[in-house]
Structure 1
Amino acid sequence: MARTLPSQREMVRSKGVIKKDEFVKVITRTLYSLGYNKTGALLEQESGIALHSSRVTSFMQLVLEGKWDESILSLRVINVPIETEKSAKFIILEQKFLELVQNGNTVDAMLMLRNEISPLLINTSRVHQLAACLISHSQQSKTICVSSRPDSLEKLQRLFPAATIVPEKRLEQLVEQALDMQRESCLFHNTLDSELSLYTDHQCARSQIPSETVQILQAHNDEVWYLQFSHNGKYLASASNDQSAIIWEVRDNSQLCIKRKLIGHQKTVCFVSWSPDDSQLLTCGLEEVVRRWDVQSGKCLNIYGKHDLGLVSCGWFPDGKRLFSGVTDKSICTWDLDGREVVCWKGQRTLRTSDIAITKNGKRIISIFRDTSILVHDKEVKVDRLIEEDEVIISFSLSDDNKFLLVNLINQDIHLWSLEGDFKVVSKYKGHKRTRFLIRSCFDGVEQGFIASGSEDSQVYIWHRGTGELLLALPGHSGTVNCVSWNLCNPRMMASASDDRTIRVWGLGRR
């Protein structure tokens, strides 16, 4: 007679952090993955803990058999969040579409793309790729259309919570992460930044990384391009292709809710910047104007622009009394709060679309001024210095202590530059995907000990800042992740913005 399922509170070992049923499921999944099917089945029988519920098993079988309508209907009886159900439906319909194209049923595929996939409003860039599959005799079509049902099932497994479906090779991933953390501990004394506090215990390091989706924000109607937490950690601002920005308030329970939706731009909102005291917010329309908003009332306080020119970025001076912006004529202009132009640095100072930053002491202005060069202008001594790269620069991020610059390159590398003494690269990060879009990275975690980045493969990548080791690749989004922001006042909270029109809030979740 099989034993009854253990209580959800039954734990393994005395620390009470490992749930017995989840632990057994991971072992069972590993046995099946290694081909030990009899041993896996025996463990399920002896423990009384089924790897998957009968509903989940039925769902997985329907996907493998290509019973698309039935598999979509069965999603409703599986215990997954509503937003996950929508993303799962997209994956299922995507596989159905690809098989129709591969079998030459292009008319049915076209109708399906128009009537079933596009209305989901998920991953518009992928929808465009699927449309390319309908172009006959196209080499690109042949490449994009290659897919298999097991591949789709694996995507679904990564999408669902581990408590619902245990992903393939989950144990291997956990062991690899533990070994990475252990290696990170051994390299502690060799870190290039002696002031950076590294985590000497691999389990402690992993516990500091928010790697579980705790909330999905879905108020934008189009791709979310940029987001940034306020300095005090109480708010998150997001910018979207839907021509709006949203101010989200972080509640005491760490849940975010809409405080204000900012409407007024006539083009995509591509950038936001918090005032030093977080009472005001700047929003920049893509090659349009900059608007200044009162956070509490949501009122637009002023509009900044130049006749016949557009603005491409924005930021605050440390005193909060002036603001600056890159202009489409490649100049950099500053205004006082009333809208009077204070000074404009003419000539090749920035690109048409690029980042600009100013240090906290107000002495250095940093901008991308050529495809492969970043200009560091020292206002005090009036000296220009260059950061030179061999590849095209996509974006950059300034560390909170203003000593380092994180530079994203077109070849998918991320370089960490020291801004002290002779400028030099002190670390490199690899692994994320970027082929077409503007991807942003940031300094994250306790004492900014991690590097986080968006990616075109819909994942958030996190590296150890000192060693350059890739620690985690977090799935969940169904479109390109454009930007990541970490809450400086709560390093266990991170947010990511995606083309799938959502913002994912990441936390520690259950450990």
Structure 2
Amino acid sequence: MSQNVYVPKQGNNDSHASGNHEQHSDWNAPIWNDDEEHSQTKNRVEMIYERSKNVIPVGKQSRSFPWYEQIIDPSDRHLKEDIIRLIVQYLQEEDYLYSAAALQDEANVKHKDVLAQQAHLQRVKTAILEGDWAEVEKLCSQATFKNLKSFLYEVYKQQYLELVDRQEYQKAFVLLQKRLKSLEGYAQRLEEFHDLCYLLTCKSVNEAKSFRDWNGTMAGREALVEQFQRLLDFEVTDTSAPVQVPPSRLVQLLQQAVAYQIEFSRYHPKAAPRIKTLLEDYHCFVLPNREKQCFVGHQSNVKCVQFVGESGAHLVSGSSDNTLILWDTESGEKVASFIGHTSRIWDIDVTRGGFIASASGDGTVRIWDAKSDIRSSCRTVISGHTRDVYTVSYHPRENHLVTGGYDKSLRLVDVRTGQTIKTFTGHEASISKAVFNPHGNLIISGSKDSTIKFWDVISGVCVKTLSSHLGEVTAVETNASGSLLLSSSKDNSNRLWDIRMARPTRRFKGHQNTSKNFIRVGFGTNEELVVGGSEDGFVYIWDTETGNLVQKLGPCVGPIYAAQWCNRQSLLASCGHDGMVRTWWFDPSTPLTDDDK
């Protein structure tokens, strides 16, 4: 159920919010002082509604071929050459002629090196077929490829077998002693070297068990050439005339890739979308208006929820019943329970690979593997805080964690060892939330002392403090580029900050956040929306650009503590005091606004 409320801002600058700190009369711009500006805001909200209606839900489609990631081998040299040719063609078509020529020259130099290497290897093959073993050994000494000793063992073995076949036992014995003995460990079977020794007493190579299938000198050499080819890390490149690159081939491939992403998304656009970036996957703009799934299983209120991994195919929730539950996003079924904490779960964070970090009132952080066969087992327990741990966040490289809590300190932890590397102190009250900026060089923390602090990861020094909030700060989150910061506080407002200017640019109001709860806020669809919880039992959604409230989802029984958006799934997840986890989606059969009813 959705309740749409359009609230244009009216002189909402709140300069008193800064107290005795920095005052910005225009920080909440735009301020609507005339009908023209009011009309522009109204048009912006109406545009959001129209964009959301411009989609058709088709459900989350599963790929019919689960091995799609294995289709292309990025290490294949033929494909690498094709990619270079595609880039050169694109640069030429776009008139980057000097760049295209430089790239082509560099690629040609590498191609000449490959050709020289191929000629060298061809000489090795010729020498093998001619039985010129001295030349083979000389050429191999100049070659640089893996498994060289393994190949030399095969060369000496062939030479040895030919000597035995000609009954030149003295020469065979010398070769066995000087060459083959030191390479005994490269024999394919344990008994093979013993059979080589045994051949010194035989009249025929076929008398030894390991060589009963030996078919003579030439057959052995030809087999050795084939084996040599298999041992090489690289394959012989076809040096014939290359296939002509079709016009605009790179652009065609990109169009196919985007079309594939659209085909497998939860919503299909009614009209061809305009793709503004290729640096991330296509995500359809969606304004949720209806509950999709309700996840039942916790025995107490649910403080936090996160989508798991890059695909978001699973959800994980943390509760005051001391457990985490892993859910199937689509079906709503419980996949696994994570048991080990002895107090409520305050916060969780998840890596792209599916590792879950949970912060608890028992003073510990635990790390779990969502992909493990034994999903209920804890991988690591991190201690150090004296009381409740309220927040945990992974570093962008996922090799470190930052934790914070009741003891007013932040801790930088090595995930591999579980050891604290650095401690950050300076807040005057409990730390409710801490995150890394996207570059990983700063930690941003919000506290019950009503401030937001920026910490240099290397030095541990606080480099900036924001003090505009009137109430306790309950959440902080940056956008993908790290230029903007969202914060929520117990003064019934969420704020959007320009990090570089250290000033708030927008305020999001209408929800309730004044009690003892941690009410979180985050970015929604493509960062064009802001989503957050509220103590009145609704999920609130605002327009990032104007700050206007564009959607309310609910009501639920009791406060909504957090809302989390997943671009890949095009779903919004929420959790709250009623012990339920919910997902929300856009359903065209349900009115999006009051005017649609």
State the TM-score bracket (shorter-chain normalisation).
Answer: 0.5 to 0.7
Deviations 1:331-357 (CA, angstroms, capped at 9, x unpaired)? 222222343424222432574241010
Instruction: Tell whether the 8 Å contact from 1:323 to 1:336 is kept in structure 2 after alignment.
Output: yes
For 1:433 and 1:396, locate their aligned partners in 2 and report how far apart those are by CA, in whole Å: 14
The equivalent residue for 2:308 is 230
For 2:470 and 2:7, locate their aligned partners in 1 and report how far apart those are by CA, in whole Å: 34
For 2:325 and 2:37, locate their aligned partners in 1 and report how far apart those are by CA, in whole Å: 38
Distance change in 2, residues 1:385/1:263 (3 Å): same
Deviations 1:307-344 (CA, angstroms, capped at 9, x unpaired)? 75553321212222222211543222222234342422
Q: 2:498 aligns with which of 411, 415, 418?
A: 418
Q: Does 1:441 align with 2:521?
A: yes
Instruction: Tell whether the 8 Å contact from 1:365 to 1:376 is kept in structure 2 after alignment.
Output: yes
Q: 1:248 aligns with which of 317, 324, 327?
A: 327
Instruction: Tell whether the 8 Å contact from 1:305 to 1:311 is kept in structure 2 after alignment.
Output: no
SS in structure 1 of the partner of residue 389 of structure 2: coil
The equivalent residue for 1:282 is 357
Deviations 1:388-427 (CA, angstroms, capped at 9, x unpaired)? 114023322313312221111222011111112x211111
The equivalent residue for 1:386 is 465
Q: Does 1:293 align with 2:371?
A: no
| Pairwise CA RMSD | 3.1
The aligned amino acid for 1:410 is: K
Instruction: Tell whether the 8 Å contact from 2:430 to 2:449 is kept in structure 1 after alignment.
Output: no
Q: 2:534 aligns with which of 444, 450, 455?
A: 455
Residue 363 of structure 1 deviates from its aligned partner by 0.7
For 1:451 and 1:315, locate their aligned partners in 2 and report how far apart those are by CA, in whole Å: 20
Residue 370 of structure 1 deviates from its aligned partner by 5.9
Q: 1:470 aligns with which of 526, 549, 563?
A: 549
Q: 2:586 aligns with which of 493, 497, 508?
A: 508
SS in structure 2 of the partner of residue 355 of structure 1: strand
Q: Does 1:265 align with 2:351?
A: no
After TM superposition, the structure 1 = structure 2 runs for residues 90-105 of structure 1, keeping only pairs within 5 Å, are none
For 2:583 and 2:42, locate their aligned partners in 1 and report how far apart those are by CA, in whole Å: 33
More contact order relative to length (CA 8 Å, sep ≥ 6) = 2
Instruction: Tell whether the 8 Å contact from 1:367 to 1:376 is kept in structure 2 after alignment.
Output: yes
Instruction: Tell whether the 8 Å contact from 1:432 to 1:455 is kept in structure 2 after alignment.
Output: yes
Identity between Structure 1 and Structure 2 (%): 22
Size of the alignment, in residue pairs?
Answer: 325
The equivalent residue for 1:221 is 299
The aligned amino acid for 1:202 is: Y
Instruction: Tell whether the 8 Å contact from 2:430 to 2:448 is kept in structure 1 after alignment.
Output: no
Instruction: Tell whether the 8 Å contact from 2:382 to 2:419 is kept in structure 1 after alignment.
Output: no
> Is the deviation greater in 360-369 or in 302-311?
302-311
The aligned amino acid for 1:500 is: D
The aligned amino acid for 1:286 is: G
Distance change in 2, residues 1:189/1:504 (3 Å): closer
The equivalent residue for 1:194 is none
For 1:454 and 1:336, locate their aligned partners in 2 and report how far apart those are by CA, in whole Å: 32
After TM superposition, the structure 1 = structure 2 runs for residues 354-373 of structure 1, keeping only pairs within 5 Å, are 354-369=432-447, 371-373=449-451
Instruction: Tell whether the 8 Å contact from 1:331 to 1:344 is kept in structure 2 after alignment.
Output: no
For 1:203 and 1:190, locate their aligned partners in 2 and report how far apart those are by CA, in whole Å: 10
**Rg bigger for which structure?**
2
Structure 1 runs (4+) deviating above 4 angstroms are 176-180, 183-186, 188-191, 307-310, 380-383
Deviations 1:198-253 (CA, angstroms, capped at 9, x unpaired)? 98463224662111011111111100111112351222111101101112233xxx
Unpaired segments of 5 or more residues in structure 1? 1-160, 163-172, 192-197
The equivalent residue for 2:177 is none
Residue 510 of structure 1 deviates from its aligned partner by 3.8
Residue 443 of structure 1 deviates from its aligned partner by 0.7
Q: TM-score, normalised by structure 1?
A: 0.58
After TM superposition, the structure 1 = structure 2 runs for residues 108-187 of structure 1, keeping only pairs within 5 Å, are 187=40
Instruction: Tell whether the 8 Å contact from 2:360 to 2:390 is kept in structure 1 after alignment.
Output: yes
Distance change in 2, residues 1:318/1:219 (3 Å): same
Instruction: Tell whether the 8 Å contact from 1:303 to 1:339 is kept in structure 2 after alignment.
Output: no
Unpaired segments of 5 or more residues in structure 2? 10-35, 55-285, 590-597
Distance change in 2, residues 1:363/1:256 (3 Å): same
Residue 293 of structure 1 deviates from its aligned partner by 0.4
Distance change in 2, residues 1:236/1:397 (3 Å): farther
For 1:308 and 1:395, locate their aligned partners in 2 and report how far apart those are by CA, in whole Å: 20
For 2:7 and 2:532, locate their aligned partners in 1 and report how far apart those are by CA, in whole Å: 21
Distance change in 2, residues 1:185/1:263 (3 Å): farther
The equivalent residue for 1:203 is 50
Q: 2:488 aligns with which of 408, 419, 422?
A: 408
The aligned amino acid for 1:269 is: I
Distance change in 2, residues 1:430/1:308 (3 Å): closer
> Is the deviation greater in 291-300 or in 313-322?
313-322
For 1:316 and 1:334, locate their aligned partners in 2 and report how far apart those are by CA, in whole Å: 10
For 1:483 and 1:187, locate their aligned partners in 2 and report how far apart those are by CA, in whole Å: 31
Distance change in 2, residues 1:306/1:313 (3 Å): same
After TM superposition, the structure 1 = structure 2 runs for residues 469-488 of structure 1, keeping only pairs within 5 Å, are 469-488=548-567
Deviations 1:82-130 (CA, angstroms, capped at 9, x unpaired)? xxxxxxxxxxxxxxxxxxxxxxxxxxxxxxxxxxxxxxxxxxxxxxxxx
Distance change in 2, residues 1:336/1:503 (3 Å): same
